[in-house]
Structure 1
Amino acid sequence: VACGIAFTSFAGLNEVGTHKLSDDEVIDELGRLDSVARAARVSLVRQREALSSQFTPEQLAVFNTHLQLLEDPVIEADVKERITEQRMTLENAVKDVFHVYERLFEVVQTQSLRNKMSDMRDVALRYLRHCKRGSAATSGSQSDMKDGILVVKELTLSDLTEALEHGIVAIAAEAGTIDSHGAILTQAAGIPAVIGVANIREALTEGQTILVDGNTGQVVIDPSPESVGAAQNRAVEEDTPAVTQPVLADGTKVVLTAAVASATEARTAARIGINRIGLYRSELPVVQRQGFPKEASLAALYKQLVNAVDQVVFRLPDLDSSVDLPVVFPESETNPALGLRGIRLLFARPQMLNQQLRAIYRASEGRPVGVAIPFVSGPQDLHRVHEIMASVREELRLAGVDVSAKIKIGAVIETPASALLGRELISAADFVLIGLDGFSQYLMASDANNQHPEIQGKLLPLNPVVLRAVRKLCAVAGALDTDLTVYGESVSEPGQLELLVSAGVRSFALRPALLPDAQSRIEGLDLVQSESKLQQQIRLR
């Protein structure tokens, strides 16, 4: 949690004039290009060295990616061509070159290309910022940014490094993803950040005070002293065992578990009284390392999780080709959301699946853990994983590894096929997870990133069709005495938690920061009263 003065940007691609160069100025401008490019490279190397103790070698690899772009002869030639042939200033030439690349990348809307474009835009900003620093008109206003909040269109690596240099205490971004280079490193640096705050730059004026709560994902413009105090108190309370398992008005117990992406988050959950990890997102180490982690390091990481709490469910890596991972996805796909994703990818990359299972066995050391299979289409996927696990288990046993752990195999329900085959799938699983965000999107054929009202109206609040499907799955799981847990960011939206409990959900996996609020909302909930709201919500209008 952080509160401070908002600064809307260090520099932007649009902050460029349109001055046409004379013949004499062209020569000077080419000289500027050489000096600016050199300064940008030196600065990037210096920043990488300065942050070497703060980030892992894998995390620092992105600096090398940006360095390669700064040294790319094609990009440099394109910039020179605009200076010499079109008489553009260096700033305008850089802007024009990278806008051309941006338009080319936007033709194919995949996350991989968006991440690459983010890196290229980042390098363009580095050029422009060094142009600005080389100008006599450059002001020293950035020295006043200490303890401020940086507000940007998209969180980039250069934003983060500038923020660290100037003492920025938090970042709010209009766009971006949790697997972008900037977001991953921001998390590692411990800087509060909220990504996906639509139109925030239009809503505020530079110099206004804003509150950034990275725990709840909220950004408040001109917050009252009371709201600032409340947010700070919530942050302090996270370190105290404040969460107990809620009980409904009729005595029914609801189980709250944590959804985490790191051992640090797992320890945070344990500190607030939650000793079960209902969902560990195992794809983050793969994304951070830009490929396959070594089995030993993966097992060591997983052991930290197992040691932090009483019980862990490892969701196998849920990745698709929209993520910028050339080692995993050497070829692009036209529609990543319907391609090699989740268990489909793991079946296609057996070495990746075997490595995950071996690391989980090594980390468990005889203690019970769960393995959730993402993006299943039916019970046949579970049967296939069981066969592979048996083979892996025997290999490890012969190698002298303790494989006495009872590893439960669960299914993640997201696809319509997995919902339609609910009884057969749940019968074959030791437990079931419903990934509510993905499930809603696939069931309603609606993209949550599309902000058009016609699309968002299909998703929030919970669509009657989604609620009906969840209720049916809960009934089947209850009849078969199989644990069913729901997770997803949309679970914590106002009113949705209560609707899900009314629909029969008795277990949730939420980010640690959301668990205290979830407990207070569920505690003492009257099912008789909430049932009427449920009936209204599931009625098709």
Structure 2
Amino acid sequence: MTSPVDTQSESSTLSGQSVSPGVAYGQIFLSMESLEEIGTTRLADDEVDAELARVDSVARAARVSLVHQRKQLGEHFTEDQRRIFDTHLTMLEDPTIEADLRGRIVDDRLTFESALKDMLEVYERLFEVVESENLRNKLADMRDIALRLLRFSRPPSERVKDQDRKGGILVVRELSLSDLTEALDHGITGLIAEQGSLSSHGAILTRAAGIPAVIGVGDIEGKLNAGAHVLLDGDNGLVLVEPDPETVQIAQGRAPEGGFETLPPATLQDGTAIQLEAAVAAPSEAKQVRSLGIRTIGMYRTELPVIQRQGRPREDSLAVLYGQVVSAVDHVTFRLPDLSSSSEIGYLYPVAEPNPNAGLRGVRLLMQRPELLTLQLRALLRASEGKEVRVAVPFVVDADEIRVVRSAAENAREELRLEGLKVPHAVEIGVVFETPASALLGRELMQVADFGLIGLDTLAECLLMSDRRNHEELVLNRLRSVHPVVLRAVRKLISVSAGLQKPIGVYGESLVQPALAQLLVGIGVRRFSVRPSILRQAHGMLHAMDLDTCERVAELACRASTSEDLKALLPQSWLV
């Protein structure tokens, strides 16, 4: 059966950053208030006293509400986390803030809303040149307080009623404490934010409350219509718009009506075998994968526990977590944490970097912080209980990085053996091809690695200098279309791996594009890893492919000079 999600364009899957794990499905409710949208409105002289009275009334109502929420919602949080409420309450009670607002109303004849906007803009100008994470979070708290005051400045009839949003998913500008308390008050099951920080107070409390959440989904209003239904994947930082019922049931770990239909081994039309594997980020997803008959996880992301904890993870906890994954399937490839300073983990990145993607990212961070590398490797080896362990190294640019990880893995294995624990005979170390340097050094890297993984989306971003989080059409179109340089780079890596008789696979969200998937098959890709919710879609797409056509078109496509030239070569049936 063809489901709605099968026929949607790639824009139906929105990418962001995971804040809080879990899956939520429901109708979206837009709550996109923004002080930036408030104009400058002046008061007549005889309106000033009434506006000053509004300041008193609104501030009092906001304080009473916050005290009530702290009391009612306190069970969700630790004492330290409840102090965040106290911080906001202190700011609401700060006489200098109220005096600032009153001064702008009296001196500049501004309405309460305009004065609020004016005051916040001053704070933002003061803080925008500061690189301190604490001060950036302080500014986020100021915006949160301003938003709370703005909401209480409305007439009661315009405020959200409990029954309006129960079971829905709240879409906001920036994840804040105000939004979280609204979610908890009104039975919201998930949060999506256009912007925000992983270390903000709103993010910390959202994780503590256990509400699935994704931030960094740009231009939300342009992509989501009020009333639409979405599947929020908090484990992978994804939002699926109007998914089909089976996708929702699989993501929620429930069997569809009549039970799961186990997928047979993936093949093309002519019977050519394809290794279809899963790319996952949580043990719950590993169990879903097995229920579909997929016994191999081609890429397990290990960074999520580090990001969510925002502190040093414990080896015992990681070993238990990874053990759940190992026991769910037959084979797992664990990708070491691919972190950058954009994750805003204070103990790893005490100072902000001007360009996180070109800084201490992936294996560079692991080499800079060898204790984190050792922690991950020991946890993985303990979880394996003697079974085969495959470890992929992210963001590689030369062979020495592979050698460093291999040496660390051997040291960790020997340590555990001496401690009397059951360990595998060896650890397979693989390279993730996602940087231009790794693509150019394919042979040298594969000579020192045991296997390869091609991170197609990141490789395309780097080769085309196009950020998928940039929402300018000219930038996005570079990534939406298949570019010859990306195809040639992948073909070279496939050829090198075949010559060295070492396995290599491809993973990435863009694999659901029919044209790209068929071109990849045409240049020799025989191993794909996709997220669980699209495994069935990918399986059906592969089975419909004609190998001869794929190879013939791919040969021509690799000779194209531009993405438009390449597109003109594609059969019309590939462009759906």
Aligned-pair CA distance for 1:522: 0.5
1:517 and 2:542 matched: no
Aligned to 1:224: none
Alpha-carbon distance in structure 2 between the residues aligned to 1:521 and 1:381: 36
The AA in structure 1 aligned to 2:561 is L
Contact 2:30 2:170 in 1 (8 A): yes
Q: Which amino acid aligns with 1:362?
A: R
Cα deviation for residue 476 of structure 1 reads 0.8
The answer to whether the 8 Å contact 1:110/1:322 transfers is no
Q: Match for residue 483 of structure 2?
A: 463
> Is 1:374–2:394 an aligned residue pair?
yes
SS in structure 2 at match of 1:49:
helix
Greater shift after overlay, 447-456 or 11-20?
Answer: 11-20
Q: CA RMSD in A?
A: 3.8
Q: How far has the Cα of 1:271 moved from its partner?
A: 1.6
Give the unaligned 5+ runs of structure 1.
221-226
Range with greater deviation from structure 2 (288-297 or 188-197): 188-197
The 2-side partners of 1:410 and 1:430 are apart by 5
What does residue 499 of structure 1 align with? Answer: 519
Q: What secondary structure does 2:120 align onto?
A: helix
After superposition, residues 147-296 of structure 1 pair within 5 angstroms as: 147-156=167-176, 158-168=178-188, 174=194, 182=203, 185=206, 189=210, 196=217, 198-200=219-221, 204=225, 209-214=227-232, 217-220=239-242, 240-296=260-316
2:146 equivalent to 1:124:
yes
CA–CA distance in structure 1, aligned partners of residues 223 and 384 of structure 2: 50
Consecutive unaligned residues in structure 2, runs of 5 or more: 1-23, 563-576
1:175 is displaced (CA, Å) by 5.4
Q: Structure 1 241/536 Cα, relative in aligned 2: closer, same or farther at 3 Å?
A: same
AA partner of residue 74 (structure 2): E
Q: Does the CA contact (< 8 Å) of 1:48 and 1:63 recur in 2?
A: no
Q: Which residue in 2 is equivalent to 1:145?
A: 165
Aligned to 1:96: 118
Q: Deviations over 1:374-408 (max 9, x none)?
A: 11111111111122222222322232222235321
User: Which SS does the other structure have where 1:491 is aligned?
Assistant: helix
Residue 411 in structure 1 maps to residue 431 in structure 2: yes
Aligned to 1:223: none
Summarize the Cα distance change of 1:405–1:96 in structure 2 as closer, same or farther, 3 Å threshold: farther
Figure out how many residues of one structure are paired with residues of the other and give that number. 523
- SS of alignment partner, residue 370 of structure 1: strand
- Check conservation: 1:112, 1:323, Cα contact below 8 A: no
- Residues 358 and 142 from structure 1, CA distance in 2 versus in 1: closer, same or farther, beyond 3 angstroms? same
The Cα shift of 1:324 comes to 1.7
SS of corresponding position for 2:325: helix
Displacement of 1:78 in angstroms is 4.3
Amino acid at match of 1:200: E
Question: Structure 2 vs 1, CA of residues 141 and 63 (structure 1 numbering), >3 Å: closer, same or farther?
Answer: same
Contact 2:334 2:391 in 1 (8 A): yes
Whole-angstrom distance in 2 between the partners of 1:202 and 1:418: 34
Scaled by the length of structure 1, the TM-score of the pair is: 0.83
CA separation of 1:16 and 1:275: change in aligned 2, threshold 3 A:
farther
Contact 1:194 1:217 in 2 (8 A): no
**SS at structure 2 position matched to 1:313:** strand
Spell out the pairing of 1:276-425 with structure 2 (5 A cutoff): 276-425=296-445
Question: % of aligned pairs identical?
Answer: 40
Output the CA distance in 2 between the equivalents of 1:49 and 1:404: 46
Residue 556 of structure 2 is aligned to residue 540 of structure 1 = no
Distance 1:452 1:512, change over 3 A: same
1:202–1:248 Cα change, 3 Å:
closer
2:63 to 1, 18, 38: 38
Give the distance between the partners of 1:37 and 1:522, measured in 2 at CA.
56
CA distance in 2, matches of 1:47, 1:405: 54
Secondary structure of 1:268's counterpart equals helix
Once residues 537 and 106 of structure 1 are traced to their aligned partners in structure 2, the CA distance between those partners, rounded to angstroms, is 46
Contact 1:257 1:510 in 2 (8 A): yes
User: 1:116-156 CA deviation, whole Å, 9 max, x = no partner?
Assistant: 86665444333433444xx5555564533334554434455
Matched to 2:299, the amino acid is L
What letter is aligned with 1:124?
Answer: A
Contact between 2:250 and 2:288, CA under 8 Å: does it hold in 1? no
Residue in structure 1 matched with residue 10 of structure 2 by the alignment: none
- Change over 3 Å in CA distance of 1:518–1:78 after alignment to 2: same
Q: Amino acid of the residue matched to residue 210 of structure 1? A: A
Give the Å deviation of 1:480.
1.2
Structure 1 373/3 Cα, relative in aligned 2: closer, same or farther at 3 Å? closer
Q: Tell me, yes or no, if the aligned pair for 1:431 and 1:484 is still in contact at 8 Å.
A: yes
Aligned counterpart in structure 1 of residue 471 of structure 2, from 428, 451, 473? 451
AA at the equivalent of 2:150: L
What CA distance in whole angstroms lies between the structure 2 residues aligned with 1:366 and 1:292?
26
Alpha-carbon distance in 2 for matches of 1:108, 1:254: 52
- 1:510 is displaced (CA, Å) by 1.2
**TM-superposed deviation, 1:322:** 1.3
CA pair 346-116 structure 1, distance change in 2 beyond 3 A: farther
Instruction: Give distance in 2, aligned partners of 1:533 and 1:270.
Output: 34
CA distance in 2, matches of 1:315, 1:481: 21
CA shift in 2, pair 1:533/1:451, >3 Å? farther
Question: Quick one: structure 1 residues 229 and 420, their matched pair in 2 at CA, closer, same or farther if it must change by over 3 Å?
Answer: closer
Determine whether 1:9 maps to 2:31.
yes
